[in-house]
A and B are shown apart, each in its own frame.
Chain A
Amino acid sequence: MAEKEMQKREASSPVETERTQARKVFIPRVDICETKDAIVLLADMPGVDEKSIDITLEKNVLTLLGRVEPETYEGYRAAYVEYDAGDYERAFTLSDEIDRDRIDASVKNGVLRLTLPKAEPVKLRKINVKSA
């Protein structure tokens, strides 16, 4: 497991969209693969469950947003710290036309699995030309 591939990457916060909460934002690592009739996306979002995740698809921009409450333990001191808790945010532009009604999302063990079925191709319509 190469180290650079495993660590969370912190997102640079663009000036146009600042967040009201001073909380860190991370870019989740994803795997995306395309099958014959769907696009499947897997995202590592530890600390996120089905209630704290928002997925939106506007036009062809897919946005993932996961909220994580930072962990604190009363009466404990941080003896050793390697990771920070924060929200997850990432957006993708989809090239294929997606069937919005059949999008399926599930979260298990902190991994989001999103299945985006491709829409049926628009049927060709033949136009008959009548002779005048």
Chain B
Amino acid sequence: MVWPESGRYGRVWSPWREMERLQQDMNRLLSRESTPHSTTFPAVNIWASDQDVIVTAEVPGVDVDSLDITVAENILKLTGARKPEELKPAEVSHRQERASGEFTRTFRLPYAVDSGKVDASCDKGILKVRLPRAEADKPKKIAIKSQK
């Protein structure tokens, strides 16, 4: 059975997608204690239209220079690191809730994008990447000729 690719992204409801999500959630729950590096930092939202995709991520305290965005076809990879705050000898830590370290996240976008026209900006700790749809991937209307 073939399900359209767009089904993963909410356009078409698919029971397999729900199953997949459930499986991913379960895997994440079970592997939570054993994996030192989380796969869910930074939290990401993806917005899509027919022309382009906007990916936003919450990356507070992440140096822009350490962020790396790579795009191939419809796969977006986001890597980076957040530097830990180092304590000086005379300093005493009261609370440490903010984590640090390296992160990598990979996403499959709803369609292939033009990697040459990707535009990324980072403001107030929120990364915003705009990825235009590849020309070759845009839907084309096919005129039907009538034969007399």
Contact A77 B85 (CB under 8 A): no
Q: Does A81 belong to the interface (CB within 8 Å)? A: yes
Please, which residues of chain B bring their CB within 8 A of the CB of A42?
61, 85, 98
Please, which residues of chain A bring their CB within 8 A of the CB of B132?
none
Please, which residues of chain A bring their CB within 8 A of the CB of B85?
31, 33, 42
For residue B37, which residue of chain A has the nearest CB? A1
Contact A1 B93 (CB under 8 A): no
**Chain A interface residue count: which class?**
35 or more
Out of B36, B49, B59, B63, which one reaches A46, CB within 8 Å? B59
Please, which residues of chain B bring their CB within 8 A of the CB of A78?
10, 45-47
Q: How many residues of B contact A (CB 8 A)?
A: 52
Q: A73-B54, A79-B110 are in contact. Are A3 and B91 (CB under 8 A)?
A: no
Contact A3 B38 (CB under 8 A): yes
Please, which residues of chain A bring their CB within 8 A of the CB of B60?
44-46, 109-111
- Mark each residue of chain B from 28 to 72: 1 if its CB lies under 8 Å from any CB of chain A, else 0: 100010001111111111111100011010111111100000000
Q: Does A16 belong to the interface (CB within 8 Å)? A: no
Contact A32 B38 (CB under 8 A): no
- Mark each residue of chain B from 88 to 104: 1 if its CB lies under 8 Å from any CB of chain A, else 0: 10111111111111110
Please, which residues of chain B bring their CB within 8 A of the CB of A6?
38, 40-42, 99
Contact B62 A32 (CB under 8 A): no
Contact B98 A1 (CB under 8 A): no
Contact B48 A79 (CB under 8 A): yes
Q: Does A120 belong to the interface (CB within 8 Å)? A: no
Q: Which A residues from 1 to 30 make CB contacts under 8 A with B?
A: 1-8, 29-30
Contact A31 B36 (CB under 8 A): no
Q: Does B122 belong to the interface (CB within 8 Å)? A: yes
Q: Does B87 belong to the interface (CB within 8 Å)? A: yes
Please, which residues of chain B bring their CB within 8 A of the CB of A111?
60-61, 125
Q: How far is the CB of A108 from chain B (nearest CB, A)?
A: 8
Contact A31 B58 (CB under 8 A): no
- Mark each residue of chain A from 21 to 62: 1 if its CB lies under 8 Å from any CB of chain B, else 0: 000000001111111100100101111110000000000000
Please report B residues at the A interface, Cβ cutoff 8 Å: 9-10, 28, 32, 36-49, 53-54, 56, 58-64, 82, 85, 87-88, 90-103, 107, 110, 122, 124-126
- In the assembled complex, 20 residue pairs joining A and B whose CB atoms fall closer than 8 Å, in A order, are A1-B41, A2-B32, A5-B99, A7-B40, A31-B93, A33-B87, A34-B91, A34-B94, A45-B125, A46-B58, A73-B54, A76-B47, A79-B46, A79-B110, A80-B46, A83-B44, A83-B45, A109-B63, A109-B122, A110-B126
